[in-house]
Structure 1
Amino acid sequence: MECQVKANPQVKEVVWIHDGRPIHSFMATGNVEDSEKGVDSDLNQYQSVLNQRYRYDHHYQQQQGPNHHGSTIIMTNQSLVIQKVHRSHRGRYQCVALNDQVVPGCKANQKHQYGVSKNEQIRIRCEVDAEPTDDLTFRWTLNTSGTETAIEWPSFTIVNKTISIATYRPESSLDYGTLACSAQNKIGIQERPCVYSVVPAGRPDGVRGCAITNHSMNTLLIECLPGDDGGLRQHFNLEVYYGPNESRSSMKVLSEASAQSKSFSSSSSSSIVFDNQGVSAIQHHQQLRLHSNHSSSQPNFLVSSLTPGTTYTLNVYAANAKGRSQTVSLSAMTLASPEKHVARARDSETKLTFFFASEQEASNKSLYIRFLPY
């Protein structure tokens, strides 16, 4: 069978279909029954191509033949050859020719949410894939909580043929909603518009649920849960401090420090931090020294190159274009090195004195002493 096509631009691909099921082009040879297995999921894709996205010419013809097995299918250029025709080859054959001309569609990896304050003007960018692009036109609609139906939005410009930019300024809480952009060329109208959400913007909320999930002599792993992003893309920062307040002897019981916590705010030079033993210490930032800064798209940080047996203050906060969140502070200690364990044991040697009633009793008794690790 030969697929006769007239097309401009030139045909790039020919797809053959048998009784509504595509015969995959990558199967140059094979049994028809095998080639049709598992293609039901692809049928809708090809039908969408046929009905909505491409102009094509097609023809079909009936084929019948004797019942032979071991049939072979050969597809070359615009031809379909069936060798050793089998009963399963009966049915309707169609060919579909595809070229580069296509109705507009949303380009991938666009920004679809815009955070903006009241009376702040934003520029929303809509970009589409289409061919041809010479006669491309755009249409914008607005749908907010203050409107029952979408309305035409005229404030937009067209740049580089395939890009349109709309300007928008919400004046009240009822002006937040969605702007939709659709394009049209001589092939057809865009089936699904590109939709962009306009939401109230503000500073992000602080992170929550922070925990030291792993630690060693030289590393700490900090994991938190993100808070609300304030309607804008946020990122997360970690500041690692060390200093004279790292000693556990400076720690106070949590109940003692909690009474003073009300006098401290996120903007003050002091903060209340909690270590993994459930105690609290009031640490002054001017006495601490910065070890390192870290930034991440997720509130998870692996801090390395730390000193063994040292307590660190960890400050975590989120930030977006509107500002930064409140800081969450916590304290963690790296594991001590084996050398420090030995030195600590030697420094804490204890003299033991035992008393016996007589020398004879002492010589007849055995004394066992068990030392537990520090």
Structure 2
Amino acid sequence: MDEDGRRLEGLVGRFSEGRKLKLLCEVEGGKPRPVVTWWRDKRLVDSNFSFVGDGTVARNWLEIDELKRSDFLSVLTCQAANNNGTVAVSRSITLDMNLIPLDVAIQPPRHPLSAGHPVELVCSSSGSRPPALLTWWKGGEQLLSAKEHQGGHEGTSSSVLLFTPRREDNGAVLSCRAENQFIQGSAIEEGWKLDVFYKPLVSLRLGQNLREDDIREGRDVYLDCEVDSNPPASEVTWLFEGTEVTTNTSAGVIVSSQSLVLQKVHRLRRGRYKCIAMNREGHGTSNVFMLRIKYAPVCKPDQKHIYGVSRHESVSVRCELEADPADVTFYWRFNSSSSGKRIDLASYSHALTRSMAIYSPLNADDFGFLLCWGANEIGKQQRPCNFTIVPAGPPEPVNNCSQVNGTEDSVSFECTEGFWDGGVAPVTYVAELREADSDRLVANASSSSGPAFSFSGLEGGATFRVFLYSANPKGHRSPVHFIVSTLRPAEKLT
């Protein structure tokens, strides 16, 4: 019987591997008094017994401190014998046991995984009785999506996990744990540190010790491209306004593996930057970093620089600057082209980077140059904007006139505008179409958009003389004239 007094016979248990087992064999009667012994597979294992009560009951306690795997299905026999020549009395039991798993393994062998790409992993274990419960773990988190199978041999089990690694899983430990649920502390596990390949995660920022709101023209600027990737990035590309940036030491541009250096940075380098990192898994693009470069005012390009005005009339001269910050203080000055006199203008309007001065020449000395410049917190403008004030007059004649198309009843022609519009707007272009032989006016038209005209409803196979001039409120100069013609029937102009 066991230590709780339950009678045992036949296949008994289940007892758990590693646990202590205590069995009692109790014999009553016998004369002379019997010897009570324990045997295992016909081998004596315990001969210590004692009598209790009035001496008619003999007891032998068999203690096994730790059950071994080899004890499974072993036969334990309690035997009572005396020396009177009678046959010994015995009872036998067979030990049924819960067994600890012997091994656990993960297939396929360890190799790098690719983020976002599922992989099938198989965990197998043997030696457990009953078959081991298999569980999957990632760090301290149990993964519950695995499918478990019992093997074809007793004590074997397997579990299939469809695992889709993420970038965050790189370096985590993935393990399979095999455990006999009936034996506390029986768990064994196989685990491996995940090597997860993933495309670069890229971040672009300003270099250390630099402030975004304090980058000034002429200083050195550093941009850092921070790349998180596995395997490491094989290539890093820098883009400025969508165009690749390469090293140009003469221009102060230095590209290294993960940094961009702009030495003595120019305002033309302000704008949008980003970096792209590549590895075998793909490429990653950083955030767009807007580089602001503060600079003193400069003239905005493509402004009108020549103004025509008559004496005792007024002209509005517009001055536009580029500056950062845009809070600009303006200055105006007139330089006479004839006498050399200089006059600082006190009256003008302005808003941020734009200013307007109204100028009225009274005599010949008042024609010359208006200078405009500005200053902001970064500094004073180095080169002022120069506007030429000249006496207003008719615009220059058009030039380069030619016929551009012709049919049996129509002609089209165009010219190039004259270089000087006379300094007075608007400019109007006037075209007269006359018969080449008789000089009879056939048609006329005007345009304020440019010296290009089309006339239709004309006689086929005819030749015409065009008179074309440009005019403004101050008048016009002599017209230019040239020949155009319509096609004869079945003729094509090429």
Please list, as runs of the form range in 1=range in 2, the aligned pairs for 1:19-38 lying within 5 A after superposition.
25-26=238-239, 38=248
1:174 alignment partner, SS class: helix
In structure 2, what is the Cα distance between the partners aligned to 1:222 and 1:299? 9
Shift of 1:154: 2.3
For 1:49, the equivalent position in structure 2 comes to 265
- 1:124 matches 2:124: no
Asked if 1 retains the 8 angstrom alpha-carbon contact of 2:430 and 2:470, the reply is no
The one-letter amino acid of 2:296's match is V
Shift of 1:303: 4.7
The one-letter amino acid of 2:211's match is A
For 1:143, the equivalent position in structure 2 comes to 335
**Residues 194-232 of structure 1 deviation map (CA, whole Å, 9 limit, x = unaligned):** 221111211124446755576442443435565563532
The one-letter amino acid of 1:102's match is Y
- 1:163 matches 2:354: yes
Please list, as runs of the form range in 1=range in 2, the aligned pairs for 1:1-374 lying within 5 A after superposition.
3-7=207-211, 9=213, 15=222, 25-26=238-239, 38=248, 40-41=250-251, 49=265, 98-99=291-292, 101-134=294-327, 136-148=328-340, 151-207=342-398, 210=401, 212=403, 215-224=406-415, 227=418, 229=420, 231-232=422-423, 235=427, 237-239=429-431, 241=433, 246=435, 275=436, 280-283=437-440, 285=441, 288=442, 290=443, 293=445, 295=447, 299-301=451-453, 303=455, 306-312=458-464, 314-329=466-481, 332-338=484-490
In structure 1, what is the Cα distance between the partners aligned to 2:449 and 2:310? 23
- Cα gap change, 1:207 to 1:188, in 2 (>3 Å): closer
In structure 2, what is the Cα distance between the partners aligned to 1:2 and 1:127? 31
In structure 2, what is the Cα distance between the partners aligned to 1:228 and 1:143? 24
Shift of 1:184: 0.8
With normalisation by structure 1, the TM-score equals: 0.51
In structure 2, what is the Cα distance between the partners aligned to 1:156 and 1:170? 15
Asked if 2 retains the 8 angstrom alpha-carbon contact of 1:15 and 1:24, the reply is no
In structure 2, what is the Cα distance between the partners aligned to 1:35 and 1:116? 48
In structure 2, what is the Cα distance between the partners aligned to 1:154 and 1:192? 18
1:231 alignment partner, SS class: coil
> How many residues get paired?
250
The one-letter amino acid of 2:265's match is V
CA RMSD, Structure 1 to Structure 2 (Å): 4.7
Which structure's residues are more often helix, by fraction? Answer: 1
Asked if 1 retains the 8 angstrom alpha-carbon contact of 2:221 and 2:265, the reply is no
**Which one scores higher on RCO, CA 8 angstroms, separation ≥ 6?**
1
Asked if 1 retains the 8 angstrom alpha-carbon contact of 2:212 and 2:291, the reply is no
Asked if 1 retains the 8 angstrom alpha-carbon contact of 2:330 and 2:350, the reply is no
In structure 1, what is the Cα distance between the partners aligned to 2:470 and 2:213? 51
- Cα gap change, 1:238 to 1:303, in 2 (>3 Å): farther
1:9 alignment partner, SS class: helix
In structure 2, what is the Cα distance between the partners aligned to 1:228 and 1:111? 13
Pair member with larger Rg: 2
In structure 2, what is the Cα distance between the partners aligned to 1:198 and 1:38? 42
Which runs of no fewer than 5 residues in structure 2 stay unpaired? 1-204, 225-235, 254-261, 271-283
**Residues 265-319 of structure 1 deviation map (CA, whole Å, 9 limit, x = unaligned):** xxxxxxxxxx3xxxx5343x4xx4x3x6353665454556655234545331112
In structure 2, what is the Cα distance between the partners aligned to 1:76 and 1:334? 62
In structure 1, what is the Cα distance between the partners aligned to 2:457 and 2:431? 14
In structure 1, what is the Cα distance between the partners aligned to 2:268 and 2:484? 60
With normalisation by structure 2, the TM-score equals: 0.40
For 2:65, the equivalent position in structure 1 comes to none
In structure 2, what is the Cα distance between the partners aligned to 1:307 and 1:49? 66
In structure 2, what is the Cα distance between the partners aligned to 1:39 and 1:218? 63
Asked if 2 retains the 8 angstrom alpha-carbon contact of 1:218 and 1:305, the reply is yes
Q: Which moved more, 1:175-184 or 1:233-242?
A: 233-242
In structure 2, what is the Cα distance between the partners aligned to 1:26 and 1:184? 32
